[in-house]
Structure 1
């Protein structure tokens, strides 16, 4: 009887650990920085008075047996969205990514690891109708918050840096 109860408790603990990701496989070592970023995040962007709110939901997940990171995000429940795949390119000896959008443009880029919680992204943009040809951003994980600062090369000039704070979320990324 006691053995059966211990077996049931052990089984429940294992199921709990597996469901919370504690026993999940790790990323490839080059992607280890992203372990803390996994999960869903949300941010309300700062907008000028009188402008419609801008709300972003982003999900970060380990894919391809830990050889890649996939991010999905949607703004205002599907008005705009995108998906990235980040992986370590052994030929370039660098973290690279591809980002595809619902607005008919895409980007390619590289990531630079700054420290154990911070990385910078450098993107080349193809097909953007607003004159944006490059993007640079810095993301920093601060516990249950993520700070993202972004600047755009638009019509040959860099825009003023925009900063956003993301918090953990239970919301869903939505595509229309």
Structure 2
């Protein structure tokens, strides 16, 4: 009986290891995103008299490693969005689509600047605030990532907003 238990446990560990290895396989063009996989949160810098803003974001492997899916929600579902990042072989570029609970969407390209840094350029469709383009830079280091984002709003670029994301156990929530 002991031999059977040992054999069964060994099989379980081998199988679990194979499943784990399989879940982190990514297309070569998506390898830069491997450290981002998991759940993160950022608390925005807001004025003392303003309500707190917290973004919870989850990055996951999708489509057998051919894409990265991100989901995020602000303040437990007040606002949220979902995106798919993938390699477009025709454009020879990383591209993505981002859909939001606010009814607008973006499409964009990503340019890898280094093994830890990338920049995203987005064209916005349907923004009620007059935003037509977004540019953001993400940099992963010291087990966190920093995002700096500017918006082209009513013809003028906003001052970059900086957010620091750290690992989190919180859930992305959509209402």
TM-score if structure 2 supplies the norm length? Answer: 0.93
1:139 to 2:141 alignment: no
1:38-89 alpha-carbon deviations (Å, 9 max, x no partner): 0000111001120000000000010101111100000000000000011000
1:141-163 alpha-carbon deviations (Å, 9 max, x no partner): 11421111101111111111111
Distance 1:33 1:145, change over 3 A: same
Gaps of 5+ in 1: none
- 1:74-113 to 2 correspondence within 5 Å? 74-113=73-112
**Cα offset for 1:23?**
4.5
Higher mean displacement: 139-148 or 71-80 = 139-148
Gaps of 5+ in 2: none
Aligned Cα RMSD in Å? 1.6
Residue of structure 2 equivalent to 1:17:
17
Residue of structure 2 equivalent to 1:62:
61
**Cα offset for 1:25?**
4.8
TM-score if structure 1 supplies the norm length? Answer: 0.93
The number of residues matched between the two structures is: 175
